[in-house]
Amino acid sequence: MMRLTDLLNEGVYDPGILKCIFLAGGPGSGKSKVSREIFGILGTTSFSSAGLKSVNSDTAFEAQLKKSGIDAKELARIEKEEPEFWKKITEDPRGVRELAKQTTQKIKAFYEEGRLGMIIDGTGDDVVKIQKQKQRAEALGYDTFMVFVNTSLEVAKHRNSLRDRVLPDNILVPSWKECQNNLGKFQTMFSGNFRIVDNTKDGNNVTPDIKKAVDSFIRSGIKNPIGKKWVTTQLALKNANIIK
């Protein structure tokens, strides 16, 4: 693993330093596809072409499932036919879901130490959770942005049916509805640093203006005064040879 001193070095000169982008959208919205189109993130990588690091609890969950010998395709059946096993997977403090959350938090904390650019990949059905994450990021000095991936419920259900980890309708539908209800709240929360990708149709739905807005946000100077101060301090430490 990269040492903290190396991480700090990378952070000061990283093109995506102190930039935090939230990627939100309901299940089946196609966030992974949009992430590829905007950031160049592929399923096997955790960083974008611009240097931002992806933080995705679903990726950690699926990896932990595989490590535990559980087929992700079986989750819907397990929830329906094996409620005790399902509870162990999702609620046990030592279960798969909790271990995945712990792994994700450790990775995120490591990135935050060096103030490296991050893409926080989530659902968007819990507006309070995202607001707290946004506030934490900004308290560390990050500038924040949100890309909301939107789609119709019909399309979301269809895409969900094609995934390895299929969500039952009693989870997908309420989550999709909550995301729709939160859309306006996110627009207010992120103000001008907010873009919607209508991903209902197949194909590349990331328009040039959306890509330009995201690229401009990543490559523009740091606006957050806390972040500016952090960079100044790190450079001073480097110049004093305190950080190699």
pLDDT tens for each residue of 38-60 = 988 655 446 666 678 889 888 88
**DSSP states along 82-125:** -HHHHHHHHH-TTSHHHHHHHHHHHHHHHHHHTT--EEEE--SS
pLDDT of residue 5: 47
Q: Residues 77-92: what's their mean pLDDT?
A: 88
The fraction of the chain above a pLDDT of 70, given in percent, is 89
The fraction of the chain above a pLDDT of 90, given in percent, is 45
The number of beta carbons lying within 10 Å of the beta carbon of residue 87 is 12
Q: Residues 129-143: what's their mean pLDDT?
A: 96
Whole-prediction pTM value? Answer: 0.86
Q: For residues 147 and 23, is the Cβ–Cβ distance under 8 A?
A: yes
Q: Is the pLDDT of residue 113 over 60?
A: yes
Q: Which of the pair, 39 or 131, is modelled with greater confidence?
A: 131
Q: Is the pLDDT of residue 139 over 70?
A: yes
What is the residue-averaged pLDDT of the chain? 86
- Exposed / middle / buried, residue 31 (Cβ in 10 Å: 0-12, 13-18, 19+): buried
Between the alpha carbon of residue 45 and those of residues 19, 102, 134, 142, 148, the distances in Å are 19, 20, 24, 23, 21
Residue 56, strand partner residues: 121
Residues 129, 185: Cα–Cα separation, whole Å: 13
Res. 4 pLDDT band, cuts 50 70 90: very low
Out of 94-108, 159-173, 182-196, least confident range: 159-173
Q: Residues 90-105: what's their mean pLDDT?
A: 89
The per-residue pLDDT for range 186-240, each reduced to its tens digit, is: 999 999 999 999 999 888 889 999 999 999 999 888 999 999 999 999 888 877 7
Residues 61, 88: Cα–Cα separation, whole Å: 14
Domains of the chain, first to last: 26-57+115-239 (3.40.50.300)
Token code pair at residue 21: 């982008």
Residues 193, 17: Cα–Cα separation, whole Å: 17
pLDDT of residue 239: 77
Res. 242 pLDDT band, cuts 50 70 90: low
Out of 3-7, 48-52, 55-59, 85-89, least confident range: 3-7
Res. 173 pLDDT band, cuts 50 70 90: very high
